[in-house]
Structures are given as C-alpha cells and as structure tokens.
Amino acid sequence: MIKKLFSFLLLFLTLVIARSQSFRNPILAGYYPDPSICRAGDDYYIVNSSFAYYPGLPLFHSKDLLNWEQIGYAMNRPQQLNLDSAGVSRGLFAPAISYHNGTFYIVCTEVSKLGNFVITAKDPKGPWSNPVSLPQVNGIDPSLFFDENGKAYIVFNSIPPNNISLHDGHRTIRMFEFDPVNLKVAGEEKLLINGGTDMAKKPVWIEGPHLIKKDSWYYLICAEGGTGYNHSEVVFRSKSPEGPFVSYEKNPILTQRHLDPNRKNPITTTGHADFVEGKDGQWWGVFLGCRPYEGDYYNTGRETFMAPVVWKDGWPEFELGGEEVKYSYKINAVAYPKREPFNGNYFFRDDFNSTDLNIRYQFLRTVRSEWYNLKDNPGSLTFRLRPETCAGKGNPSLIGFHQPHLKGYAATALKFIPAAENEKAGLLLFQNEKTFYYLCKSVKDGKPVVELYKGTDLVASKPLGGKNNKDIYFKIEAATDKYAFYYAEKKDKWQLLQDGVDAKYLSTKSAGGFVGCIYGMYVTASGKTSGNTAAYKWFEVKNDDEVYK
C-alpha cells in the first residue's frame, strides 16, 4: 500500500513539475542558424547551418523539446565535406532533416563546390553517408517531404520563370518527386510559388520551404523578406502536394519587423521556420532570430528560437503571447540537470582531461592533418604552430566556441614560449577573415610581450614581466557593444590591456556574412614554418545576460 502511494505521489509530482516548466529562448544560443527539426518516435532532432566551419551540420537531440543535447555532426569526415578555400560565410547552407521508415535524411546545399546533396543515416549520431549530389535541384534550401501514399518530394528555392526577375529578390519555390531508395529526383520539375505571397507587393527571397500535411491539407511554409531585419515566415496550403497553393490571408505568421526597434531586449530577424508536432499533440515552431544590442547590431549571429504553434480555421499561426517573441514559454516536460546547456546564463569549462575533444568545438574549414592533440601533455590541449592564419582561407590552428550571449566572458590559460616575432598564441574573437580581434603572447626584440590585434593591425602591446616559460592567462569580456581584453601572469591577477573596444566592428551589419562570432584558441607562425607548440591548460565561457537572471 505504501509503495503504491509513493508511486502515485511520484507520478503526481512529475506531472505537476512537467506542467510548470518553461524553456529559455534562444534554445540554441549563439551562431546556430537555419534550424530544421524532425521527430522520430519519442525523439526530436535539430540540425543547423554551419557554413565554412568543420565538422559540418551540428545535430541536437531531445526527448521532450525542453532538454537538448548535442549528439554530433552529420558531416565529420574530409571525404564528406571539402571546405578548402571557402569563405567563412560559404560552405553549408540551410539543411533540412527528415525521418522515414527507419532512415534519417538530410538535404542541404554546399554553395562553394558540391551544390545540393542528400546524406542518410540509420542512427542520427552517425555515421552519415557520403553526400549524393542532386544536380537537377537548381537552387538552395532543399527539404524533403514523405507523403502517406508512399511518394516523396523535394522542395527548394530557385530562379524566377525563364530566369527573368520581375523585381529584385524575385525567387520561386519549386519541387521534384524524390526517390528515397536511389536518392535521386524523379519526374518533371514543378513550379509551386512564383515570387511569394502577393506579387503586387514585390515580395523578396521566398526560401526555406517545408511541406507539412495535416487534416488532408498540404501546407507549404516558407521564409520571405530576406534573412535580415525584414525576415518573416509565411504559409500556403493546397489539397495536393503539387498545388495550386493559396496564400494565407493573415500572412506573415511570424515576423518582428513591424515592432519598435527601441523596445527592451528585442528579438529580431525571425523566420526560416520548421514545425513539429509534440507527443502531447502540441505543435511547435523552431526558427532563427537575432538579439541586437542596438539597432541591427548583434555579434551572436542568427540563433535558434522556439515558440508554440496553434491551428485556427485550418491554418497554422505562431502563438507568441502578444506580438513579441518571448524569452520563455511553458512546456509540458520535466527539466533535468544538463551537463552542457545551450541556453540561459550557463557556464562552460574544459580542463582537457578527456582523450577526445569536446563536441561543441569547431574548426575553420576541413581538417586534413592532426595539428592538435590531447595526448602529448595530459590535461592540456596542444597545438602545433603552422603557417596558416585566420586571415587566410586555409585551415588555421584554431579551435572555436560560439559566442553565446551579449554579456559574459571567455578565458583561457596556456604555456607558450615564442621563439620569434612571427610566433603567436592566445585567444581569438573571430567574425571572418577580415574582422577579428586577437589577444596573444609573442616576443618583441627577444622579450615576451602581450599583443592585441584588430584584424592584422597591432593596436596594443605590453611587455611581460615574468619569465618566458611561465603560464599566461587571457580573458575577453563582452558587454553588448564593447569588449575588454585582459591578461594575467598569475592566476586571477588580471591586468587590463584594452577597454571599450568596438564590438560593432564584428557585427554582421558591419562585417557582412551569415555567421556569428566565435571565441577561439588560436596559434600561428604567421606564414612561416615552425616546430613550436602551445599547450592550453583550460578554456571557459561564462554568460551574464540580465534577461536570464
């Protein structure tokens, strides 16, 4: 009797806790754009764009849409992904993940070399297959749809009819049937959407399409307005997957472009959504958004947000709880301690005690040689100094971590004995090949110095007082539109090298492109050959945004 009562109370408490939980937006903080989501039984999976970072296409798993864990990358082998010479904002654009009859599919566009392709896996943790090219798919943002009658389709953004634009940004949504066994398109290409919701208004950049079926209707959700401040999500429906599709009279179903830009803690640029139905029947939409600190300036890139979706009179709408996307929504789930959360004011620390590199790190372009290891100095991450630099288009000795929030810091400790002025090791704050800050140790006139670079220009330098073989510590503090750069020759004895450093220089608005900033452990011999190494002792990131307190 007591055992049954205890079980009943445990179940009751679990249900109460489940109903009272909330998640924090963005659910994937920092540069995790273009989310696509699928459900496989009781499991949910998200994949994101990764552009020229390697491994490519980060994958996340959840049992309840509340607790997310990174499980790997879909493209983690050089033979899968050639990013050589790709610009930072090239590479992999807008993947879409699907599950059908025991197989996972990802379709994506590699814009530099491969074009559109499909990969498959039985287990989303991998291994994923080598890519199969889809040359007939002329465009970007492909997505698969598996119908109940056994047919499959691939929809994608493409050129205007006869490749004649009626206005700037005129694009179309097109479709082929898809053969999921032989991984190729079938039949004739069909035009589903020409231009967008209302050609009289000259709609721009209809893209990011996904087909969904509900209650005998086929819904085509798409991004519209461009992936900047005017971004939005729109929906069309039809009784056939081949159309004709009718635009919802209340489009767009998601945008923030009409709101006061001076509102507190704004979330902007919302769109590029994908839908999933939860196990409890509640629908959700994941989408990209941005958190500017002023105007359209943000350094964290385009991030993954989530909000409820409801169905009204046969159409889906985002239930935002008002016009603004909220930083928190309630969800029927049970929160559990997360070892490495991806949202809120989390703290990340790596002491390099594992034999494997933490899954959250990424490299710039494809890694083809082992220039780093965790074995030479147990408890340290050792880098080889190489000629490549982050200002070039090779694979530099750089291991990066996404800047997650507007406020916080990244810090590291390393042992490094530079032998010449071209040898440098330290902490990088990187946006692209031209826009970055680099806080590092080097030598000047044979004596150790700490230096700060803005791009390739030296902007600050100080001599180090201790011996050249002592550990050195670096810290970069983010404070919305400013950064501060610190160093220490003794643990926690921080000395300010430069304060009030311009953060807008690294923003997408100033620097261009589609990525956000990364904090990076980075060493270089600046174009020369070197046999030197640097050993990082630890690396940590702490977040301190008021909205999550």
- Tally Cβ neighbours within 10 Å of residue 387: 16
> How far, in whole angstroms, is CA 248 from its chain's centroid?
30
**φ, ψ of residue 505 in degrees (nearest 5):** -55, -30
Dist CA 496 CA 477 (whole Å)? 11
- Tally Cβ neighbours within 10 Å of residue 11: 10
Q: Is 445 exposed, middle or buried (0-12, 13-18, 19+ CB in 10 A)?
A: exposed
Judge whether 543 and 407 are in contact, CB under 8 Å: yes
Nearest to 311 by CA among 240, 248, 247, 225: 248
- Quick check: is 42 catalytic? no
> How far, in whole angstroms, is CA 71 from its chain's centroid?
14
- Quick check: is 34 catalytic? yes
Provide the token pair at 134.
Answer: 């889809």
Judge whether 523 and 397 are in contact, CB under 8 Å: yes
* Sign of the dihedral defined by the CA atoms of residues 490, 495, 498, 502, in that order: positive
- Which of 64, 110, 141, 207 is labelled catalytic? 207
Judge whether 451 and 440 are in contact, CB under 8 Å: yes
Residue with tokens 């489940």: 18
Name residue 288's beta-bridge partners.
271, 304
Provide the token pair at 394.
Answer: 């090779």
**φ, ψ of residue 8 in degrees (nearest 5):** -65, -45
- Which of 34, 388, 423, 545 is labelled catalytic? 34
Q: Is the bond preceding residue 341 a cis peptide, omega within 30 degrees?
A: no
SS3 sequence of 182-243: CCEEEEEEEEEEECCCCHHHCCCCCEEEEEEEECCEEEEEEEECCCCCCCEEEEEEECCCCC
Provide the token pair at 354.
Answer: 């594992």
Judge whether 32 and 340 are in contact, CB under 8 Å: no
Measured CA to CA in angstroms, residue 372 lies from 74, 213, 387, 413 at distances of 22, 47, 14, 16
Judge whether 240 and 217 are in contact, CB under 8 Å: no
Q: Which distant-in-sequence residues (6+ apart) come within 8 Å of 208 by Cβ?
A: 34, 94, 141, 143, 157, 222, 223, 271, 272, 273
* Catalytic annotation, residues: 34, 207
